[in-house]
Amino acid sequence: MGILKRLQQEIDEREKHEGVTLAELLDLSPPLRRLMNRVTRYGELTVAQAAEMLEETPENTAKMLNKLVDNGFLLREQRAEGWVYQVHLARKRGTSLPADLWTPLAEQIESPEAEASDSEGAPPALDTFRHIGEIQREKPQDP
Amino acid sequence: MSKIISIHSFRGGTGKSNISANVASQLAQRGNRVGVIDTDIQSPGIHVLFGMDDEQIDKSLNDYLWGRCKIEETVYNVSARVGKGEVIVMGADIFLIPSSIRAGEIARVLREGYDVSLLNEGFRALVSRLNLDYLVIDTHPGLNEETLLSIAISDVLFLILRPDQQDFQGTAVTVDVARKLEVPNLFLIINKALSSYDFDELKQRVEEIYDSPVAAILPLSEDVARMQSSDIFSLRYPDHPVSEAIRRVVDYVEAVGK
């Protein structure tokens, strides 16, 4: 089986989705990953550039690139120089961490004590670290 | 030709932000236009090294990722802040693109995610619109989407490790990922090496383990710790062994593409 057929088969076997994650990119076969690496690194790729890389005809390469578009890996744009392909990166999913996880930190920063300390010229955290500095200075020096 | 430099480590606390800020500042001092972007959205910190705090940051990378502003609006020229603007005459401009330190912003980006394509476009837009010679990306430790993206688009990747078993194993994973993503120039930086070590032997052994060159070994330094990230160490103390090591890292950066 030729390289192009193998790559097309690999693309077919992958689930169609909205964009590719970089983690998925690591999981691709080396030739397909090389192609995706290149389009990610340089931002875009023409059919001619991809064909040269894969050592394939422009017609076969265009078929494969269009298949990657269909599967959500690439985006395609018509320009004066022809079709240009760009990586279609998937949106980073959020976590299921509780929404108020950082609330205590925000409250601490915005507390009246913190504001009072602020008005004296130093944020509370920095104040604490200055204190640590003083403790260190009081320690005897190592011989 | 502009270069994108990522400074990364598998584990936290290796000195990534400190080395990023120092490398960027040394590059700027050599006459380059340099951008520094904090992609450590979960735990941002490099702004501290450039003397900025929450109140001085109006718009951040988070605002750009939420579509509230253009990437240019998140850029701060920190040249005057570097080296406290006292004794340092910068050769060129240095720009910082901070991540938000506001708890609500951090929580939101973690909770809702963001458009990674926008981050990718943002990197490219910064390089071209600010006419940068170098864009230095300070990353989040470990491997997540923004880290993988920064590795994937980097011309130069520096992986920082400490001489520690946990760092050694994690770095092996990252080196493997970097190879799969075909980073053209991968270098290791050993940080916080005990002065009792034989640096030449350490360098040789690490290079053998990872089959990658070690750009520099930075000695463990109380002087760096004492500064508490309040300034750019290599500008304040240019003759210190840590500063000499930083300049060796910068030599590697400048040698790429020549």
CATH number, domain containing residue A9: 1.10.10.10
For residues A22 and A82, state if they share a domain. yes
| Max avg pLDDT among A19-28, A102-111, B110-119, B155-164 | B155-164
Q: Give the pLDDT of residue A104.
A: 64
Question: Taking CB atoms and an 8 Å limit, are B107 and A102 in contact across chains?
Answer: yes
The A-side interface with B (CB below 8 A) comprises 19, 21-23, 25-26, 33-34, 37, 40-41, 43, 87-95, 97, 99-103, 105-106, 109, 123, 129, 133, 136
User: Which chain B residues are closer than 8 Å to A123 by Cβ?
Assistant: 53
Residues A24 and A50 reside in one and the same domain: yes
How far is the C-alpha of B244 from the C-alpha of B253, rounded, in Å? 15
Query: If you search the block for the tokens 């080296």, which residue do you land on?
Result: B83
- Enumerate residues 6+ apart whose C-beta is below 8 A from A117: A123, A124, A127
Q: From the list B53, B113, B228, which residue is nearest A94 (CB)? A: B113
Q: Examine residue A96 and state whether it is found in any structural domain, yes or no.
A: no
Asked if residue A126 and residue A78 are part of one domain, the reply reads no
Do A107 and A83 lie in a common domain? no
Are A79 and A121 part of one and the same domain? no
Which chain B residue's Cα is nearest to A75? B117
Return the pLDDT at A1. Answer: 58
Give me the mean pLDDT over the B88-104 stretch.
80
Establish if A111 belongs to a structural domain.
yes
Q: What's the start-to-end Cα distance of chain A, in Å?
A: 72
Residue B91 has pLDDT above 80, yes or no: no
Per-residue pLDDT at B58: 93
pLDDT of B92 strictly over 70: no
The pair of three-digit structure tokens given for residue B74, joined into one six-digit string: 């998140």
Average pLDDT of the residues of chain B? 91
Q: How many domains is chain A partitioned into structurally?
A: 2
Query: What's the rounded Cα separation, in Å, for the pair B162 and B122?
Result: 31
- Asked whether residue A30 falls in the same domain as residue A68, the answer is yes
Co-location of A57 and A11 in the same domain = yes
Is residue A142 over pLDDT 50?
no
* Chain B residue nearest residue A87, CA to CA: B117
Q: Clarify whether residues A75 and A23 are in a common domain.
A: yes
Residue A7's pLDDT band, with cuts at 50, 70 and 90, is confident
A93 within some domain: no
Give the distance from residue A66's alpha carbon to the nearest chain B alpha carbon, in angstroms. 19
B110-155 pLDDT, tens digit each: 888 888 889 999 999 999 999 999 999 999 999 888 899 999 999 9
Per-residue pLDDT, B97: 96
Q: What is the ipTM of this complex?
A: 0.83
Q: Are residue A27 and residue A81 in the same domain, yes or no?
A: yes
DSSP state of B8: E
For chain B, positions 73-132, list CB contacts with chain A under 8 A: 102-104, 106-107, 110-117, 120, 124
Exposure pattern of B190-208 as b/e (b: 16+ CB <10 Å)?
Answer: bbbbeeeeebeebbeebee
Report, as an integer, the average pLDDT of A105-132: 52
Average pLDDT, chain A: 74
pLDDT for B101 beyond 50? yes
pLDDT band at B108 (very low <50, low <70, confident <90, very high): confident
Among chain A residues, the shortest Cα distance to B176 is held by: A26
Identify whether residues A45 and A115 lie together within a single domain.
no
Examine residue A92 and state whether it is found in any structural domain, yes or no: no
Beta-carbon separation of A26 and B115 below 8 A = no
Q: Does B42 touch chain A (CB under 8 A)?
A: no
| Range name among A105-119, B199-213, B230-244 with the lowest pLDDT average | A105-119
In a domain, A95, yes or no: no
Q: Give residue B83's pLDDT.
A: 54
Lowest model confidence (mean pLDDT) among A103-107, B81-85, B200-204, B235-239: B81-85
pLDDT higher than 90, residue A131 = no
pLDDT band with cut points at 50, 70 and 90 for residue B65: very high
Mean pLDDT for B224-244 is 91
Q: Which domain holds residue A80?
A: 3-87
Other CB atoms within a 10 A radius of the CB of residue B66 amount to: 17
Q: Is the pLDDT of residue B230 over 60?
A: yes
| Residues on chain A touching B110 (C-beta within 8 angstroms) | 94-95, 97
| pLDDT of res. B199 | 96
Work out the percent of chain B whose per-residue pLDDT is above 70: 95
Return the axis-axis angle of helices B145-153 and A30-42, rounded to nearest 10°: 80
State pLDDT tens for residues B180-197.
Answer: 999 999 999 999 999 999
Specify whether the CB–CB gap between B99 and B119 falls below 8 A.
no
The candidate with the shortest Cα–Cα distance to B117, out of A101, A44, A27, is A44
Fold of B3-255: Rossmann fold (3.40.50)
Helix (H, G, I), strand (E, B) or coil at A142: coil
Same domain? A76 vs A133: no
Co-location of A27 and A72 in the same domain? yes
What pLDDT sits at residue A139? 44
Q: What is the pLDDT of residue A9?
A: 74
* Contact residues for A80 (Cβ-Cβ < 8 A; gap 6+): none
The answer to whether residue A69 sits within a structural domain is yes
β-bridge mates for residue A87, sequence order = A74
Per residue, the 3-state secondary structure of B80-127, as one string, reads CCHHHHCCCCCCCCEEEECCCCCHHHHHHHHHHCECHHHHHHHHHHHH
Reported as a single tens digit per residue, the pLDDT across A41-71 is 888 999 999 888 888 889 988 888 988 898 8
Distance of CA A5 to the CA centre of its chain: 29
Looking at the complex, report in whole angstroms how far the Cα of residue B54 sits from the nearest Cα belonging to chain A.
Answer: 11
pLDDT classification of B205: cutoffs 50, 70, 90: very high
